[in-house]
Amino acid sequence: MRIWIDVTNSPHVVLFRPLVGLLTARGHEVTISARDFAQTVELLEASGLVHTVVGPPHGGASRAGKVRAMASRLRALRGFARDQAFDVALSHASHELPLVARSLGIPSSYAFDYEFALAQHGLGCRAATRVVVPEGIPQERLDPIGARARKVRRYPGLKEEYYLHGFTPDPTVPAGLGVDPSRVLVVVRTPPEVSLYHRHANPLFVDVLERLGRDPAVQAVVLPRTAEQRGAIASRGLPSLVVPDHAVDALSLVALADLVVSAGGTMNREAVALGTPVYTTFTGRLGAVDDQLLREGRLRSLTAADALVLVRKERGTPLPTRAPDGLLDCLLTALEG
């Protein structure tokens, strides 16, 4: 089969990397389109995944900018896919792919694990042949965005458990960033400021940077999403912060860190899966998956920077990983029609 995958954000690279390997091993031909956003292209290149950048970069924080960029990318994606005779199209939160796939008569699967990005999911769910989500998201949250039970396929656990199957961290990554092994290592992920679903100010995150950045017993590697975030953080001149100017092996960092503080979702769940203590500073509405992790005590909500416990890690129990075949087979149910 000819399979089309659209990758639009940095976390999707590690998600699809093992799935592409499985598809290739099964004898399928995989074509990857990509959006130039955050570290997506850089990570694709580092992963050795052949890809084509299609359409304009991310439209920025404004709704008008997003709409203009989406219209332009839809046209570009349609031109890219029109003559390629794809048999099925797969994406994780690329709502543009199912829209284009539907217009070209290509079955598609649209996956996500945060249900409150209502604008994009409303488009993707209605256009897709299949909607693929974790078991933890209740159906009553999916119905209003067009993901009726008949088109929904569910997988157990977290998506992170599938792509972490067989993962071994690279112990040289912290040293490559100049991290002092005698200090407590904290990995920090910035807020998703350009996302429509994250409109709330996050002063707590600034307090966290100040707390970590001035502690001589700590070294905090801050992973920004955009060049603007990187510049703003670096300009603070906080001596205990390390702000890489390129994409890094974040999975290894998370696995080797003593603590993770993240304002997003994927890195929180990666930390949970790897057994690294993790605090969330996310100020939007928590999705069902993260809410369950909070109830289980695997994820902690941070309300004040002073509440951070900055000590060497007492490693938690990693979640059992799952063979990625299960997630891939769920995505491929789009072929059932």
pLDDT for 197 = 46
DSSP code, position 306: G
User: Is residue 186 within 8 Å of residue 261, measured between CB atoms?
Assistant: yes
Six token digits for residue 302: 């941070």
pLDDT computed for residue 137 by the predictor = 98
Q: How many CB atoms lie within 10 A of CB 50?
A: 11
Task: Give me the pLDDT at residue 61, please.
Answer: 57
The reply to whether the predicted model has a pTM over 0.85 is: yes
Q: Which pLDDT score, from 0 to 100, does residue 215 have?
A: 97
Q: Which two tokens stand for residue 271?
A: 């930390």
User: Crossing angle, helix 10-25 and helix 40-47, to 10 degrees?
Assistant: 30
- pLDDT of 26 strictly over 80: yes
- From residue 295, alpha-carbon distances to 250, 267, 288 in Å are 26, 18, 11
Alpha helices in the chain (DSSP H): 10-25, 40-47, 63-81, 96-103, 118-127, 139-142, 159-163, 173-176, 203-213, 227-234, 250-256, 266-274, 288-296, 325-331
Q: Tell whether the model's pLDDT for residue 315 goes beyond 70.
A: no
If you write DSSP's letter for every residue of 208-225 in order, what string do you get? HHHHHHT-TTEEEEEE-S
Residues 58-114 pLDDT 10s: 655 566 667 788 899 999 999 999 999 999 999 999 999 999 999 999 999 999 999
- pLDDT the model gives residue 198: 43
Mean pLDDT, rounded, for 173-189? 96
Range 129-150 average pLDDT:
98
Q: pLDDT band at residue 282, thresholds of 50, 70 and 90?
A: confident
Six token digits for residue 328 = 């891939």
Beta-carbon contacts of 147 under 8 Å, excluding residues fewer than 6 positions away, are: 121, 125, 131, 133
- DSSP helix/strand/coil, 248: coil
Mean of the per-residue pLDDT values of the chain: 92
Residue range(s) occupied by CATH 3.40.50.2000 in the chain: 2-165+322-336, 173-307
> Of 51-65, 119-133, 255-269, where does mean pLDDT reach its minimum?
51-65
| Sheet with 130-134: strands ordered across | 52-53, 29-34, 2-7, 88-92, 108-111, 130-134, 152-155
Q: What is the CATH number of domain 2-165+322-336?
A: 3.40.50.2000
Residue 82 half-sphere exposure, CB side, CA atoms within 13 Å? 7
Tell me which of 50-64, 136-150, 283-297 is least confident: 50-64
Amino acid identity for residue 122 in this structure: G
Please tell me the number of Cα atoms within 13 Å of 2 on its side-chain side. Answer: 8
Q: What residues contact 250, with CB distance under 8 A and at least 6 apart?
A: 187, 223, 267, 270
What pLDDT does 212 receive? 97
**In this structure, which topology does domain 173-307 adopt according to CATH?**
Rossmann fold (3.40.50)
